[in-house]
Amino acid sequence: MSAPVVVITGATRGIGAAAAVELARRGAEVAIVGREAERVRAVAEEARAAGSAPVHEHVADLLRVSEVRRLAAELLETHPRIDVLANNAGAMFTSRQVTEDGFERTFALNHMAPFLLTDLLRERLAGGRVVTTASDAHASGQLDLDDLQFERRPFRAMRVYGTSKLMNILFTRELAQRAPELSASCFHPGVVRTGFGKNDGLMYKIGLTVAGPFLRTPAKGARSLVWLALDADPAQVDGAYVEDEKVATPSAAARDDVLAAGLWERTTERLGARDSGR
């Protein structure tokens, strides 16, 4: 049997880098996606040393819709088969700024990018898996379908981040309904010692540095991702939220099917992505 082909975004540090190396060690053919070419190359070399299957390098800035589309085209051209798409790229930004597409950055990277990339790769993913990195921070999220990007509400970094993670779970839930040809799941990796939260904002950087010794290692945080990609029964985790390789129950809002459908429709409108009926 040929090696499974796994595409993983945000693969140049933290959970993503640890998962990429472990997936390669487990025999997967890994496509590493990151924003900086040097970091992509470094993780790719580590993954090649860990396994024997091919390791591919893809550079893209997923804050930009044009880059997500270019990446999707590149992946489709490079990989005749994609067994797993791991939507792992994400960040928390401590000030409200918009991208060149007019999207607030947390919303653009954490929600819009995985939504669009999955949509563009969907046909190639038939029979495969979509794994999205969520967080228990979703419980603090407050999703308003009429104010997805906190244009009218106060911008509080953790609230905005938590809302984007709530979107990840709702996206997974709705994808499982709309795409029966694949298995969709998401997971909480734990609070991991990584570069997360250090994008801007001195106090966040200081707080995360102080807390560092008490946080999970990236390797431990990556376990559920690897498990969902290679080991879990797809039927048992379809539409599920997972913690420590076990299906868990997310917040009430994350289980709201009406909210999930509404988010899908609003996102599709903003991206012009293909929609499919429930």
CA distances (Å), 7 to each of 24, 83, 199, in order? 11, 8, 24
Burial (CB count within 10 angstroms: exposed 0-12, middle 13-18, buried 19+), residue 57: middle
In 3D space, the residue among 247, 254, 263 whose CA is nearest the CA of residue 166 turns out to be 254
Q: How far apart are CA 128 and CA 181, in angstroms?
A: 8
Is 241 an annotated catalytic residue? no
User: Measured in whole angstroms, how far is the alpha carbon of residue 196 from the centre of its chain?
Assistant: 13
Neighbouring residues of 265: CB distance < 8 A, sequence distance ≥ 6: 275
Which residue in the list 93, 103, 115, 161 is annotated as catalytic?
A: 161
CA distances (Å), 183 to each of 20, 30, 186, 238, in order? 20, 19, 10, 5
**Which residues are known catalytic residues?**
161
